[in-house]
Amino acid sequence: MSQTETSPIGHLIEQGIGENKMSKKKIIIISICVIVVLIILGVAIYFISKNIEASANENKLSKMYNKMMENKTYTISFKLDDNNQNTISRNGNMANIDTYSNGKHTTTIIRDGNTHLLLYDTKKFYTYQNNDIELEELPNSLNKILQSQEPTKGEEEVNGTMYKYEEYKGVNSFLMNADDETSEGNISTKFYFKGDNLKYIKTIMGDTSELLEINLSYGTDNKAFEIPTDFQEG
């Protein structure tokens, strides 16, 4: 056997060493892949948990307000009972505020910078030129509440269903049956949400409260901004 030739046993040894080197390389590559996957999973879990945390801390009333103001197109109704309720429809610089107060029905239509008050008991309407102050009454009220404080958050059952709520102290903006005694003192307002949808508003006045049922959508009927033909100008 020449010096350059390898014995069968030597050849097997060299083959075994080569296979061991290849096996070690595979192990290293697999280990690196596993580490990379674990890092990716860790980063993904971190961002998912952050999103969950951000969602939990999200101010739902603020999110609703921003959506309402995005296109300034919405219809929202507030109902205490059949005799006490109002619906606000808005599309840009036009609005319709339809109100039942102790059974008395009136409608305020705002368009072209003017306000028209419709009285259903007389079928007459009255026009107030260059007056559209009620157009921004609801947005201003919501914005004032949001700017005033951070709400207390929790969960509570209303009419047999659990809702998340945000409570604002010292707020009575949505109180329908207000008087001098109930509109002052220890008072707060809770906004109840199912997901991002506002369902109820409760004004709490000491040991008593007033609960409004809410229905909000982001659209309007343009006929709401027209004065009915059976009304006469007063």
Place of tokens 């072209």: 112
Structure token pair of residue 151: 């709400």
φ/ψ region of 175 (left if φ > 0, alpha if ψ in -120 to 50, else beta) reads: beta
Task: List pLDDT tens digits, range 24-48.
Answer: 666 677 767 767 776 676 655 544 4
192 residue type, one letter: Y
The conformation of residue 208, written as its DSSP 8-state character, comes to E
Please report the pLDDT score of residue 174 as a whole number: 96
Q: Locate the domains of the chain by residue range.
A: 7-57, 61-220
- What are the strands of the beta sheet with 161-169, ordered from one edge? 152-158, 161-169, 187-194, 197-205, 208-217, 73-81, 84-91, 94-101, 104-111, 114-119, 124-128, 232-233
Please report the pLDDT score of residue 58 as a whole number: 78
Please report the pLDDT score of residue 177 as a whole number: 83
List Cβ neighbours of 150 (8 Å cut-off, separation of 6 or more). Answer: 59
**b/e map 45-58, b = 16+ CB within 10 Å:** eeeeeeeeeeeeee
The conformation of residue 129, written as its DSSP 8-state character, comes to T
Question: Residue 75 — φ and ψ, nearest 5°?
Answer: -135, 125
Name residues of the chain where pLDDT drops below 70. Answer: 1-27, 31, 34, 38-39, 41-57, 178-185
* Architecture label for domain 61-220: Clam (2.50)
Please report the pLDDT score of residue 40 as a whole number: 72
Please report the pLDDT score of residue 95 as a whole number: 98
Task: List pLDDT tens digits, range 180-199.
Answer: 555 556 899 999 999 999 99
Q: Which sign does the torsion angle of CA 83, 84, 90, 95 carry?
A: positive
List Cβ neighbours of 234 (8 Å cut-off, separation of 6 or more). Answer: 119, 122, 124, 125, 126
The conformation of residue 172, written as its DSSP 8-state character, comes to -
**3-class DSSP state for residue 183?**
coil
Question: Residue 218 — φ and ψ, nearest 5°?
Answer: -110, 60
* pTM score: 0.75
Alpha carbons 114 and 158: distance in angstroms, whole number: 40
Task: Please choose, from the candidates 229, 226, 210, 225, the residue with its C-alpha nearest in 3D space to the C-alpha of residue 75.
Answer: 225
Please report the pLDDT score of residue 44 as a whole number: 59
